[in-house]
């Protein structure tokens, strides 16, 4: 299929800036994704610059392989200009979603081009829905549509659990921007793969609706917006007195109702601590 000239140039630049960041701590600090510096100091350049830094050689190598592997197909189908547009808008979109989800986590920091590369991968999935994706570490290939759906669901669960050091928010945001940009640039993909597009976007729309209207979904393990009394999955540290159980559940309900009505910022520090205690 040939090589992607733009993809190779981006990879070379990414490698050079990442190496610079490894050797120069001040350079790294000036361009890393940092929630407080973006929201308080208005350093919006970090939404882009952080995509040209990485946390280690493995992180860089994986992203470079993914970029070079998928960029040729997208660039040849859409042209270099549109390829660059998808790349950078996906990078920004992924970081904007990460910024929204971590807006109350002032110490949150991240680096990497995963959002941009996710956008390129999902553009490729829509352009070649019947194709397959192969990985060096696996002896078989995965159908594009299966990979896309699994990627979306794993990213949503990763954001929900926050149990690893992977930027699932940037992955998901970049992937969805890649889908939307490809639909805008090549509208024919909508009629060619309507079920694939619906399968990719529907769970994301539901998830975003949940976390926007009820931020507690991101705070409480195994909670997806249900009323506390309607589920049995919560395990409170309760005393044997039945009335104590009811009072704790009612207290949880009141806190969740307040979040739904006024947002997470409406909770006092004491209420946040109480919510954490009740959800354990």
Res. 69 pLDDT band, cuts 50 70 90: confident
Res. 116 pLDDT band, cuts 50 70 90: very high
How is residue 211 written in tokens?
């976390």
The predicted pLDDT at position 81 comes to 95
How far is Cα 194 from Cα 93, in angstroms, rounded to an integer? Answer: 23
Q: Where are the alpha helices (DSSP H) in 162-193?
A: 168-185, 188-192
Per-residue CA distances from 115 to 69, 91, 97, 177, 271 (Å): 16, 5, 10, 9, 34
How distant is the alpha carbon of residue 184 from its chain centre?
A: 21
The predicted pLDDT at position 239 comes to 44
Whether 127 shows a pLDDT value over 80: the answer reads yes
Residue for token pair 């975003």: 208
Domains of the chain: 5-213 (1.20.1540.10), 218-279 (no CATH)
Beta bridge partners of 143: 132
How confident is the model over 129-167, as pLDDT tens digits?
A: 888 876 655 567 788 888 899 999 999 999 988 767 788
Query: Do residues 161 and 106 touch, judged by C-beta distance below 8 A?
Result: no
CB-count burial class (<10 Å; 0-12, 13-18, 19+) for 249: middle
Res. 242 pLDDT band, cuts 50 70 90: very low
Res. 1 pLDDT band, cuts 50 70 90: low
How far is Cα 170 from Cα 244, in angstroms, rounded to an integer? Answer: 42
Mean pLDDT across 96-117: 91
Q: Where are the alpha helices (DSSP H) in 24-143?
A: 25-31, 35-39, 46-49, 57-78, 80-101, 114-127
How confident is the model over 193-211, as pLDDT tens digits?
A: 999 999 999 999 999 998 8
Res. 256 pLDDT band, cuts 50 70 90: confident
pTM of this prediction? 0.80
Q: Is 44 helix (H, G, I), strand (E, B) or coil?
A: coil
Res. 186 pLDDT band, cuts 50 70 90: very high
Whether 70 shows a pLDDT value over 60: the answer reads yes
Which has the higher per-residue pLDDT, 2 or 193? 193
Beta bridge partners of 134: 141
How far is Cα 142 from Cα 146, in angstroms, rounded to an integer? Answer: 7
CB neighbours of residue 46 within 10 Å? 23
How far is Cα 169 from Cα 93, in angstroms, rounded to an integer? Answer: 10
How is residue 127 written in tokens?
């352009």
Query: Do residues 97 and 91 touch, judged by C-beta distance below 8 A?
Result: no
Per-residue CA distances from 14 to 8, 32, 99, 235 (Å): 10, 14, 22, 46
How confident is the model over 20-59, as pLDDT tens digits?
A: 999 999 999 999 999 999 999 999 999 999 999 998 999 9
The predicted pLDDT at position 279 comes to 66
Percent of the chain with pLDDT over 90: 56
């Amino acid at each position: 299929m040939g090589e992607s000239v733009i993809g190779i140039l981006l990879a070379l630049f990414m490698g050079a800036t990442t190496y610079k960041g490894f050797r120069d701590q001040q350079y790294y600090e000036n361009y890393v994704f940092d929630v407080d510096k973006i929201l308080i100091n208005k350093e919006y350049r970090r939404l882009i610059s952080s995509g040209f830094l990485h946390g280690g050689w493995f992180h860089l190598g994986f992203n470079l392989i993914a970029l070079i592997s998928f960029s040729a197909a997208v660039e040849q189908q859409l042209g270099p200009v549109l390829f660059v547009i998808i790349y950078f808008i996906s990078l920004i979109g992924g970081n904007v979603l990460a910024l929204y989800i971590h807006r109350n986590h002032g110490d949150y920091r991240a680096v990497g081009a995963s959002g941009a590369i996710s956008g390129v991968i999902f553009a490729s999935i829509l352009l070649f829905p019947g194709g397959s994706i192969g990985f060096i570490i696996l002896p078989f290939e995965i159908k594009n549509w299966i990979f896309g759906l699994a990627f979306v669901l794993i990213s949503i669960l990763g954001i929900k659990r926050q149990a690893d050091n992977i930027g699932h928010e940037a992955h998901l945001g970049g992937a969805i921007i890649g889908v939307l940009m490809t639909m805008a640039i090549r509208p024919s993909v909508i009629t060619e793969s309507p079920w694939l597009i619906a399968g990719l976007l529907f769970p994301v729309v539901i998830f975003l609706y949940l976390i926007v209207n009820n931020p507690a979904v991101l705070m409480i393990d195994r909670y997806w917006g249900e009323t506390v009394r309607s589920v049995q999955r919560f395990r409170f540290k309760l005393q044997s007195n039945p009335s104590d159980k009811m009072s704790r559940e009612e207290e949880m309900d009141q806190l969740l109702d307040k979040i739904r009505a006024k947002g997470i910022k409406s909770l006092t520090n004491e209420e946040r601590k109480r919510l954490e205690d009740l959800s354990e």
